[in-house]
């Protein structure tokens, strides 16, 4: 048996022993009494009775030993700022932020909603929550007021932390305006909003009784010392919302001890980074990669982490590589979309800088096509590791675990189940697929440390969403189709549900449909994901209007299409905006009234509409074809 196969087998067969060993990578205030409590399946409690703190493991323990070493490098090519924080400096900033929180009445278990651009203060804000046992809910800055309001009402934060504005492509992007709008829309707005004023949006509105200024409070607490709050391993560290099949996003709830151990172990075995090295993840703090591999993972491992505000193409397509050279980045993490974007640029940019520090590049979030995989690997001359996971799992489920064995890379394949995951491919009847047989990616519980412990405030939804497809035996369903070849290499073939993946960002078509439907002219709509060469998928809408006279000329159609797109921008954000809104007289449905989304999607991608035996009105398909052609 290969080293890795044996390592993986042990993680499943000798689960408690394996994870007890991994737990040594973390500092505990009190050791666990039980490694894995799976007495109430599918719920699991890892490192029960143990007490630890994420912030302590990410910051304090390194600051104590290597205070002057680099911890956080903030680079903005938008505002031309660059600032390096040592571990000691990072700890001081986090303590100041924690003191501000306490001043504003935030207590252990309270929620703090963070809606911020990629600035160093966003990292302080997250780590300060972890320090005092408050639960952060970071919302991606690209989400609009409607999405923000939904997340406010679900998490009921006592405090929101935001900024006047972010910058993208040289233009300010308002944040505070959206916070105000969201607070108006929400039923449970926070009592206080803490604003980091970057001076990018001079006249941003202020709400006297609610808004507080970060710079003022930071000055007040400049010498603050805030001890860490030791948390029981299962206490929540954060909530992160993700899209599903319903219109309402789910709050993925993460624990404290299991997550800290999972990240520490992944940094050792998968990403192979340690003290004195630098990691550069090009994601955003609003996504799971940002939580695990911009903020917590690298810092727990004692690495410096790069927080980059900017695009991969400004000032030119060499910017990422310039950063790699300057900070001697050894581990880099990005998404396939970014590689496809870079592939269109002058290859000279990749040769211009000294990239000898780089050990490997990790790509995740969406399928990595073989051509892009091959291209980036040969351009960089280093292993490029495709890895598959979800917001729910918090860390990779499929990857090559290079720290244990440097297995051969298969292009377009995220390779093998990661240790801790008893991942298998299942038929819809719950039996296991054979080699090269397409099935559903499932995990035999317990889910390993680091994975979601429940859906925030909705235990029932945790069970019904993830554990109801396979009940005998009970298996976690990823909702992804996958296949395993005879050598054990996996390939992910796409989602089974109505979730689409736009440039590595997960969007629920139901959410977009609801946003489209807020336009008074729209009676009914179907949104499907359509293949896009750069972004993987793009949403496309097919809408039925209430009054045909609103779309009876090309001009009116164009105007309404724009208005509908604006509605989506306002309620969800531009990332969810449909590439096109087509107007038709009726949507294809089965005789029982179920929307034939797969057929709509197939037509939109120029494929055959598939099985139509149950269709109620076949002429609806002709209308779709005509709309696409015209």
Nearer to ligand AMP by C-beta: 364 or 581?
364
The helices-and-strands tally (H runs, E runs) of the chain is 21, 33
Binding of ligand AMP at residue 52 (CB under 6 A)? no
Binding of ligand AMP at residue 366 (CB under 6 A)? yes
Determine which residue in the list 124, 175, 241, 388 makes contact with ligand AMP, applying CB under 6 A.
388
User: Shortest Cβ distance from residue 232 to ligand AMP (Å)?
Assistant: 27
As a three-state string, the secondary structure of 204-270 is CCCCCCCEEEHHHHHHHCCCCCCCCCCEECCCCCEEEEECCCCCCCEEEEECCHHHHHHHHHHHHHC
Q: Look at phi and psi of residue 300 and say left if phi exceeds 0, alpha if psi is from -120 to 50, else beta.
A: alpha
Determine which residue in the list 367, 417, 439, 450 makes contact with ligand AMP, applying CB under 6 A.
367
Peptide bond into 284 cis (omega under 30): no
Binding region for ligand AMP (CB under 6 A) out of 19-27, 130-138, 175-183, 366-374: 366-374
User: Shortest Cβ distance from residue 466 to ligand AMP (Å)?
Assistant: 12
Binding region for ligand AMP (CB under 6 A) out of 45-53, 384-392, 517-525, 605-613: 384-392
- Site residues for ligand AMP, 411-470, by CB under 6 A, read 414
Binding of ligand AMP at residue 480 (CB under 6 A)? yes
DSSP string, 365-432: SS---HHHHHHHHHHHTS-EEE-B--TTTSS-SEE--TTT--PPP-TT--BEEPTT--EEEE-TTSPB
- Site residues for ligand AMP, 490-529, by CB under 6 A, read 492, 495, 501, 506
- Burial level of 75, CB count in 10 A (0-12/13-18/19+)? buried
Count of residues engaged in binding ligand AMP, rule: CB under 6 A: 20
Peptide bond into 430 cis (omega under 30): no
Nearer to ligand AMP by C-beta: 66 or 495?
495
User: Shortest Cβ distance from residue 65 to ligand AMP (Å)?
Assistant: 34
User: Shortest Cβ distance from residue 176 to ligand AMP (Å)?
Assistant: 27
Distance CA 542, CA 584 (A): 7
* Strand positions, DSSP E, 266-392: 278-281, 304-309, 329-334, 360-363, 384-386
Binding of ligand AMP at residue 409 (CB under 6 A)? no
Distance CA 516, CA 571 (A): 9
Residue 439 β-bridge partners: 482
Q: Which two three-digit tokens encode residue 114?
A: 């963070």
User: Shortest Cβ distance from residue 539 to ligand AMP (Å)?
Assistant: 15
Indicate the Cα dihedral angle 342, 569, 154, 175, nearest 10°.
80
Question: Would you say 352 and 521 are in contact if contact means Cβ atoms under 8 Å apart?
Answer: no
Question: Would you say 279 and 273 are in contact if contact means Cβ atoms under 8 Å apart?
Answer: yes
User: Shortest Cβ distance from residue 418 to ligand AMP (Å)?
Assistant: 12
User: Shortest Cβ distance from residue 39 to ligand AMP (Å)?
Assistant: 28
Nearer to ligand AMP by C-beta: 233 or 478?
478
Nearer to ligand AMP by C-beta: 76 or 334?
334
Distance CA 224, CA 93 (A): 9
- Site residues for ligand AMP, 238-277, by CB under 6 A, read 242
User: Shortest Cβ distance from residue 396 to ligand AMP (Å)?
Assistant: 9
Nearer to ligand AMP by C-beta: 243 or 278?
243
Nearer to ligand AMP by C-beta: 52 or 334?
334
User: Shortest Cβ distance from residue 478 to ligand AMP (Å)?
Assistant: 6
Q: Which residues have CB under 8 Å from 15's CB, separation 6+?
A: 35, 36, 446
Q: Which two three-digit tokens encode residue 172?
A: 């300010």
Nearer to ligand AMP by C-beta: 167 or 528?
528
Peptide bond into 473 cis (omega under 30): yes
Nearer to ligand AMP by C-beta: 412 or 430?
412
User: Shortest Cβ distance from residue 388 to ligand AMP (Å)?
Assistant: 4
Nearer to ligand AMP by C-beta: 501 or 599?
501
Nearer to ligand AMP by C-beta: 146 or 367?
367
- Burial level of 459, CB count in 10 A (0-12/13-18/19+)? middle
Binding region for ligand AMP (CB under 6 A) out of 360-368, 450-458, 565-573, 612-620: 360-368
Determine which residue in the list 290, 365, 420, 450 makes contact with ligand AMP, applying CB under 6 A.
365
Determine which residue in the list 77, 282, 465, 478 makes contact with ligand AMP, applying CB under 6 A.
478
Residues of the shown chain interacting with ligand AMP in the complex, contacts defined by CB under 6 A: 242, 288, 364-368, 386-391, 414, 478, 480, 492, 495, 501, 506
């Amino acid at each position: 048996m290969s080293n890795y196969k044996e390592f993986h087998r042990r993680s499943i067969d000798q689960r408690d022993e394996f994870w007890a060993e991994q737990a040594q990578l973390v500092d505990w205030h009190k050791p666990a009494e039980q490694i894995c409590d799976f007495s109430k399946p599918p719920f699991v409690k890892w490192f029960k009775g143990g007490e630890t703190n994420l912030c302590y493991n990410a910051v304090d323990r390194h600051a104590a030993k290597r205070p002057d070493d680099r911890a956080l490098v903030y680079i903005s090519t938008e505002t031309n700022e660059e600032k390096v924080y040592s571990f000691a400096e990072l700890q001081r900033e986090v303590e100041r932020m924690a003191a501000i929180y306490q001043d504003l009445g935030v207590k252990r278990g309270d929620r703090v909603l963070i809606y911020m651009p990629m600035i160093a203060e966003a990292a302080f804000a997250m780590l300060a929550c972890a320090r005092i046992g408050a639960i952060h809910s970071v919302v991606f800055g690209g989400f609009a007021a409607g999405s923000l309001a939904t997340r406010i009402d679900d998490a009921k934060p006592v405090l929101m932390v935001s900024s006047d504005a972010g910058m993208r492509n040289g233009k300010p992007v308002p944040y505070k305006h959206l916070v105000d709008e969201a607070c108006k829309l929400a039923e449970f707005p926070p009592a206080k909003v803490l604003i980091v004023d970057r001076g990018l949006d001079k006249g941003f509105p202020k709400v006297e009784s609610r808004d507080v200024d970060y710079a003022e409070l930071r000055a007040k607490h400049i010498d603050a010392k805030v001890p860490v709050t030791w948390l029981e391993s299962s206490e929540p560290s954060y909530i992160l919302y993700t899209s599903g099949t319903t219109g309402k996003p789910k709050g993925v709830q993460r624990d404290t001890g299991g997550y800290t151990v999972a990240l520490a172990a992944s940094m050792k075995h998968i990403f192979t980074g340690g003290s004195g090295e630098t990691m550069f993840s090009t994601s955003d703090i609003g996504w799971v990669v940002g939580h695990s591999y911009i903020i917590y993972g690298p810092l727990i491992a004692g690495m410096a982490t790069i927080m980059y505000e900017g695009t991969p193409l400004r000032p030119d397509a060499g910017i990422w590589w310039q950063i790699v050279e300057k900070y001697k980045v050894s581990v880099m993490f990005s998404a396939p979309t970014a590689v496809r974007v870079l592939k269109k640029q002058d290859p000279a940019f990749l040769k211009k800088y000294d990239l000898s520090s780089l050990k490997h590049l990790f790509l995740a979030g969406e399928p990595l096509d073989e051509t892009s995989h091959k291209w980036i690997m040969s351009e960089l001359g280093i292993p490029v590791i495709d890895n598959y996971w979800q917001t729910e799992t918090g860390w990779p489920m499929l990857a090559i675990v290079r720290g244990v064995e440097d297995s051969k890379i298969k292009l377009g394949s995220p390779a093998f189940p990661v240790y801790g995951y008893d991942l298998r491919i299942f038929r819809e009847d719950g039996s296991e697929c054979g080699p090269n047989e397409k099935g559903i990616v499932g995990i035999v519980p317990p889910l390993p440390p680091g994975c979601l412990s429940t859906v925030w405030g909705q235990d029932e939804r945790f069970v019904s969403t993830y554990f109801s497809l396979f009940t005998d035996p009970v298996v976690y369903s990823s909702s992804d189709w996958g296949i395993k070849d005879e050598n054990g290499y996996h390939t992910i073939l796409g989602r089974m549900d109505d979730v689409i993946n736009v440039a590595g960002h997960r969007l629920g078509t139901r959410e977009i449909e609801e946003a489209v439907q807020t336009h008074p002219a729209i009676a009914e709509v179907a949104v499907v994901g359509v293949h896009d060469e750069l972004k993987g998928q793009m949403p496309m809408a097919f809408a039925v209007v209430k009054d045909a006279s609103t779309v009876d000329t090309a001009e009116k159609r164009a105007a309404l299409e724009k208005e509908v797109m604006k509605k989506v921008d306002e309620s969800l954000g531009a990332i969810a905006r449909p590439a096109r809104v087509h107007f038709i007289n009726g949507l294809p449905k089965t005789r029982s009234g179920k929307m034939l989304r797969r057929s709509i999607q197939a037509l939109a991608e120029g494929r055959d509409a598939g099985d139509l035996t149950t269709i109620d009105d076949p002429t609806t398909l002709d209308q779709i074809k005509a709309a696409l052609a015209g």
